[in-house]
Amino acid sequence: MSGNSFGKLFTVTTFGESHGPALGCIVDGCPPGIELSEADLQADLDRRKPGTSRHTTQRREPDEVRILSGVFEGKTTGTAIGLLIENTDQRSKDYSNIAETFRPAHADYVYSHKYGFRDYRGGGRSSARETAMRVAAGAIAKKVLAAKGIEVRGYLSQLGPIAIDPARFDWDQVNANPFFSPDAEAAEQMAEYMDALRKEGNSIGARISVEATGVPVGLGEPIFDRLDADLAHALMSINAVKGVEIGDGFAVVNQKGTEHRDEMTPDGFMSNHAGGILGGISTGQAISAHIALKPTSSLRLPGRSINASGEAIEVVTKGRHDPCVGIRATPIAEAMMAIVLLDHLLRDRAQNADVSTDLPVLADVDQGK
């Protein structure tokens, strides 16, 4: 396929422009017999949808998803699952002025070159609106994983200069504030920071963390489809992501071997610097990944650019934009990790379903957060 599909056995293919009639998705390879309803998907879609706080775009998209196939009498049938979300809040007139304009740090310039022209309404296919479908597909993956005891959860770990304090980490806070911050105090600081930023007309980057627990030992396919490599692929494919880390990530550059290695004892792994992946294969520990999202490119502060004729112009982006795309990215990152994990679960059992061992299985000795 040409780029709109992800996953080898649990395969997600999406379509849809931000201002076209609808977004859609086909989820292929879902195991049969899983209870599934639209409500299962809606919960995560509502976490991602815009307009739920003053810190995100005020566009109003209900993002109501319909399941069009692959589910019968409340259960997945094993056949392709078709999903559809109608676009309702299309104000194309907001965007007509940018048809001949290349907004800086947007995909306008590259799409126009690659395809000869572009759907300029709201970013078209390059809009982050497409991630709604990732979230819907990810919710299906989460449901299947949950039946295997695997849970995927994410949180915002840093917004601009404000990092969460591990000492105040509380999973219960994550869905209790508009930032997905596990640190309630940091969330308050973020709210203030965002209020000032909106006034300024500027935007800011963010760091999101995702982790999975309950993952069995053995997921990941050497050499090129390692679990970490596929996670990197999945997470880097999210709009605005510029960096991916597994476990300690870039901190390993200045770690010594004695510091980094996760020692094993009969009680379990003594640490998890590796982020739950060795040699590209899950260790049974918590899988952890982190991503960096760049600041939103749509700003009302003027920026230099050129138009389609190559003339110098000044660009000011009006309209309704997220001043921090990272804020709504937590459910998207969760979705992508869930899709990768389910895909690898299926791949592993394809090849290794007959393997049985009595090798010791190590618990993850609790390190706190």
| Residue 264, φ and ψ in degrees, nearest 5 | -115, 140
Separation CA 23–CA 187 (nearest Å): 32
Stretch that binds a copy of itself, among 50-58, 181-189, 304-312, 327-335 (CB under 8 A): 304-312
Sketch the per residue contact string, 165 through 194, with a copy of itself: x for CB under 8 A, - otherwise: ------------------------------
CB of 146 to a copy of itself, least distance (A): 14
- CB distance 327 to 159 below 8 Å: yes
Stretch that binds a copy of itself, among 35-43, 44-52, 89-97, 202-210 (CB under 8 A): 202-210
Stretch that binds a copy of itself, among 48-56, 88-96, 175-183, 226-234 (CB under 8 A): 226-234
Separation CA 178–CA 187 (nearest Å): 8
First to last CA, the chain: 40
- For a copy of itself, the binding residue among 74, 116, 167, 368 (CB under 8 A) is 116
Residues 76-115 that bind a copy of itself (CB under 8 A): 77-82, 84, 102, 104-107, 109-115
CB of 302 to a copy of itself, least distance (A): 10
* 3-state secondary structure at position 254: helix
Separation CA 223–CA 231 (nearest Å): 14
Asked if 217 touches a copy of itself (CB under 8 A), the answer is: yes
The nearer residue to a copy of itself, 61 or 262, going by C-beta atoms, is 262
The nearer residue to a copy of itself, 172 or 351, going by C-beta atoms, is 351
- For a copy of itself, the binding residue among 45, 132, 293, 335 (CB under 8 A) is 293
| Residue 55, φ and ψ in degrees, nearest 5 | -90, -5
- For a copy of itself, the binding residue among 47, 59, 153, 347 (CB under 8 A) is 347
Find out whether 48 is annotated in a ligand binding site: yes
Residues 6+ apart with CB under 8 A from 20: 87, 119, 121
CB of 260 to a copy of itself, least distance (A): 5
Separation CA 344–CA 225 (nearest Å): 9
* 3-state secondary structure at position 269: strand
- CB distance 339 to 6 below 8 Å: yes
From 232, 171, 184, 208, select the one nearest 324 (Cα to Cα): 208
- For a copy of itself, the binding residue among 263, 316, 367, 368 (CB under 8 A) is 263
314 class by beta-carbon count within 10 Å (0-12 exposed, 13-18 middle, 19+ buried) = exposed
Residues 24-53 that bind a copy of itself (CB under 8 A): 24, 26, 28-33
Separation CA 158–CA 92 (nearest Å): 34
- For a copy of itself, the binding residue among 45, 235, 337, 341 (CB under 8 A) is 235
- For a copy of itself, the binding residue among 44, 61, 183, 262 (CB under 8 A) is 262
CB of 219 to a copy of itself, least distance (A): 8
Q: Taking the mean position of all CA atoms in its chain, how far away is CA 223?
A: 24
Residue ranges of the binding site for NADP(+) = 48, 54
